[in-house]
Structures are given as structure tokens and as C-alpha cells.
Amino acid sequence: MRLSRFFLPILRETPKEAEIVSHRLMLRAGLVRQMSAGMYAWLPLGHIVLRKIEQIVREEQARAGAVELLMPTLQSADLWRESGRYDGYGKEMLRIQDRHERDMLYGPTNEEMITDIVRRDIKSYKDLPFTLYHIQWKFRDEIRPRFGVMRGREFLMKDAYSFDLSEEAARISYQKQFVAYLRTFGRMGLKAVPMKADPGPIGGDLSHEFIILADTGESEVFCHRDLVDMDIPGEDTDFDGDLSDIVAGRTSLYAATDEMHEPERFEAEVPEDKRLTARGIEVGHIFYFGTKYSEPMKAAVQGPEGSEVLLHGGSYGVGVSRLMGAIIEASHDDDGIIWPDAVAPFHVGLINLKSGDDATDAACDDVYAKLTNAGLDVLYDDRDERAGGKFATMDVIGLPWQLVIGPRGLKNGTVELKRRATGEKEELTIDTALNKLIG
Ligand code: ATP
Ligand code: MG
């Protein structure tokens, strides 16, 4: 992509309205613009990152056996009356009427709708189990939208829903999502700690929030230090096998959000030097809710003994748009964002130090073609701008590699390759630089 043809509005000044670093950097780097309170337009660079985050979520959902569908953003209020949640949901729900004065709502979550889909066509225990998910915009009229995309009103969520014949079977579906989450966040360069969360009216031990430790996080958390650096389960994890050891390895150590924190247990179970009290960002939340929706909505199948059995459900959310903020909170420096390779909008930023100079243009065009043909995503700064401005732009948008080509280096046949994360710079021949990037 040539920067001269891209849309990348960089802000040189620090936006005053932004309280936390990720929000500031998302505005400065031209990732998003606020359209109204808690609602953002995703500009091209931010949109690419959003799609990359989604893609990792998708791949890990597929690995865990979940199947993607897509439900509408608008829902009928009648479904929510059936489940009994319509009146109780309160002002967070955006309620709308269509031209026939039918009550509609912009979905804050989809338990009712997925239950409706499933109950229409699932008849037998033989059709179970399965987990369905979608990645769709949600709307919650948050009382205090803030921190940019972290607490928006419109936000993108992956929400999965599992359907099983019993609590015991649902536990297995739960474990698959639990392990999928460890892999999903790990691939984005994040250390997400699963913490015991409020299971709601159902009770039990099947409710966890996945939390990224960050000083700017909204949740207060308490956990065993060893949880923070645990390895993520590998690509070879067998999701059809027994995952209980992987889950138990995490859940046997103390980790709780403030809602569930038990100070006496924390003191007794965790040695003093391992006690970690911190703030964190909730990037995912999974829980088992049993027959909470299937009972009022009459979602049942014929069981093995012939009698009707209510479906046992769980739901599993990932804050896809919030993750962008969380990744930036975890990975930046004074000059800007440092994207982990897996979600970087482009792999390489190619800087032409003297646009308009024939030899430099020719060398840049040639390198650009070679990198692009090798399958790398390159953002080529071909604009007629000062070098200083180009460097600052590349630093703030945080691409993993910067390749700098100018007339002085070309005279000696060299270019400069910079690794954004470390700031390390190397003078290399063009071929060596290409080999290093293409690998
Ligand atoms: P929170 O406690 O942060 O309000 P929640 O418990 O209401 O979140 P869930 O209903 O579990 O959230 O939603 C699943 C995920 O969606 C959350 O883990 C979070 O990452 C994300 N999320 C929830 N609310 C918002 C929001 N207002 N803006 C951005 N992401 C959100
Ligand atoms: Mg939650």
C-alpha cells in the first residue's frame, strides 16, 4: 500500500479528551475517530487490525470445534419477554420501535436469539453437542463510555454459545472455550489470566473472566503470580481429548476479580511473595448458565430415554474491539504503538527518504515490489515529506519493521533496517535486508 493513496490522518498533538495511553495512541495513529459518545469509526489502519484480531479469534474457535454463523444486530423484544430479561435489563438496552410500532432492540448479547434458532430445528440428543458463535456488533448504552474502544457503547464481540445434554457434558464444552481463550490471547502477545468470576444465579465454578494485567484496567484483581507467566497450550492441543489438566493447572491457583475475592483464602493459599494485587482489563468472559434460557424458552430435545431434556447452555464472550486497546496498553513506548507481529496492520514500513529522486524512487519501487510479491504487507511511505515526519509517523503506527532507503546509503549500496520493538538498527545491503524480511 502506498501511503500517498492511503487514508492515515496522524495527530501530532496529544488529544486532550483521551485519558489512557491506548486511547491517545489510537487517535494519534489514525486508527479510530469518535462519531458520538462511545461510538467509533474504524479508519483503514484500525480496520485492518480489527480484522486481524477477528481472524485469530476465528482460527482458535475453529480449532476448538465451534462453528460460525451470523445473527442480526436488531432483535425482537418478544424473545426477551419470553426469557424474562426484557424488563430487567434496564437502560443499557437500546430500545427501538419499527414503523409498525413493534418493539425492537439493538442486541447487547444473543442468548435469546441463539436459543430461538436452536430450538426450532434441534429435536434429538443425537444432534448434540455443538457450539455456535458469531462476531457481531453489540450496543450497550453504558452510563459512562470511556477509554475509547475499551468501554464503548457500540463494540464488536465474539460470542459463542454451547448446547449440551447435561451439566457434565457442558463442562467439556466450557473447557474447550477456556483453552481456546488461552491460545487466542497468547497469539496476540497477551498474557491473559483466567480469574474466578461471579457465576450469577446458577452458582458453581464455571465462570471465568480473562484478564490482561494493566495499570489502566477497570477491574481490581488478586492472583497467584505464577499464573501470569504460564505457557500457552500449543498448536497440537487435542481439543477432542481431555483438557481438564490444562484447565486445572490454571484454576487450582488463586485468581479472582474483586467481586469474588476472598481475602482470607488469598492469604492462606498464596505464599506472601507470590501474592499479586493488580488492575486488569477484562478481554473475555465465559460461563455456564445451565437451563436459564432453555427453560422459559422451551428449548428441549428428546433424550436417550425418550423423555424431553432441556438444553444446558454456556456463553463465551471476547471483546474483539476492546482487545485493540488492551494490546496497545500492553505494547507501546513513548514514540507510539508496538504491534505484535500477529496483529500488525502491515509487516514492514518502507520509508523513501527522498521522494522525487530518481535513483531512490527506483530502489524503493523495486524493494516494494519484491516484498509485496513475497507476500508481505508493506506500507510504503512514498510521500514528498520531511524525513523526520516520516520517521515519527512510522514510530507512532508501530509496524514491526522499518526499512529506510535514501540517496546517501544507496551510494554505498546500503539501506537501514529497524526493529520497532527494540529500536535496533542495522545497515545492510538491499539483498540482505530483503532476505531478512522475507526469511
Ligand atoms: P464489563 O464487566 O467490562 O462491563 P461485561 O461483563 O458486561 O463486561 P460480557 O457481557 O461478559 O461483559 O461481554 C463479553 C466481553 O465483551 C467482555 O469480556 C468485554 O471484553 C467485552 N465488553 C463488554 N462490554 C464492553 C464495552 N462496553 N465496550 C467494549 N467491550 C466490551
Ligand atoms: Mg464480565
- The amino acid at 31: L
Counting ligand 1 atoms within 8 A of each CB, the residue from 40, 89, 143, 157 with the most, and so the one to mutate, is 157
Peptide bond into 271 cis (omega under 30): no
Which of 278, 310, 337 delimits the end of a domain? 337
Q: Which of 304, 337, 370 is the C-terminal boundary of a domain?
A: 337
For residues 142-146, give the mean pLDDT: 95
The whole-number pLDDT of residue 286 equals 97
Using one digit for the tens of pLDDT, what is the confidence trace for 285-301? Answer: 999 999 999 999 999 99
Q: Ligand 2 mean position to 120 CA, how many Å?
A: 29
pLDDT of residue 439: 84
Give the number of whichever ligand sits closest to the CA of residue 218: 1
Q: What is the pLDDT of residues 165-174, one digit of tens each?
A: 999 999 999 9
User: Could you give the CA distance from residue 61 to residue 157 in angstroms, rounded to a whole number?
Assistant: 13
Q: How far is CA 233 from the centre of its chain?
A: 18
For residue 200, is pLDDT > 90?
A: no
Question: What CATH number should be reported for the domain holding residue 53?
Answer: 3.30.930.10
Give how many domains the chain has, as a whole number.
2
Residues 71 and 118 in one domain: yes
More confident of the two residues 13 and 328: 328
Structural domain including 282 reads: 3-337
Ligand 1 pocket test: which of 285, 316, 324 has the largest number of ligand atoms within 8 Å of its C-beta?
Answer: 285
Q: Are residues 330 and 352 in the same domain?
A: no
Domain end: 337, 356, 385, which one?
337
278 and 401, same domain (yes or no) = no
335 Cα to the center of ligand 2, angstroms: 32
Domain holding 434: CATH number?
3.40.50.800
- pLDDT level of residue 202 (50, 70, 90 thresholds): low
Same domain, 120 and 222: yes
pLDDT tens for 375-408 read 999 999 999 999 999 999 999 999 999 999 999 9
Residue 279 has pLDDT above 80, yes or no: yes
Statement to judge: residues 249 and 392 lie in one domain: no
Q: Which ligand is nearest to the CA of 143?
A: 1
Asked if residue 112 has pLDDT above 90, the reply is yes
d(CA 254, CA 209): 13
Report if residue 285 sits inside a domain: yes
Same domain, 229 and 122: yes
pLDDT at 204 over 90: no
Number of other CB atoms surrounding residue 251 within 10 Å: 17
Q: What average pLDDT does the structure give for the chain?
A: 97
- What are the pocket residues of ligand 1 if the criterion is a CB atom closer than 6 Å to any ligand atom? 109, 140, 142, 151-152, 155, 157, 282-285, 317, 319, 321-322
Ligand 1 atom with the smallest distance to the CA of 323 is 20
Give the pLDDT mean for 214-231.
94
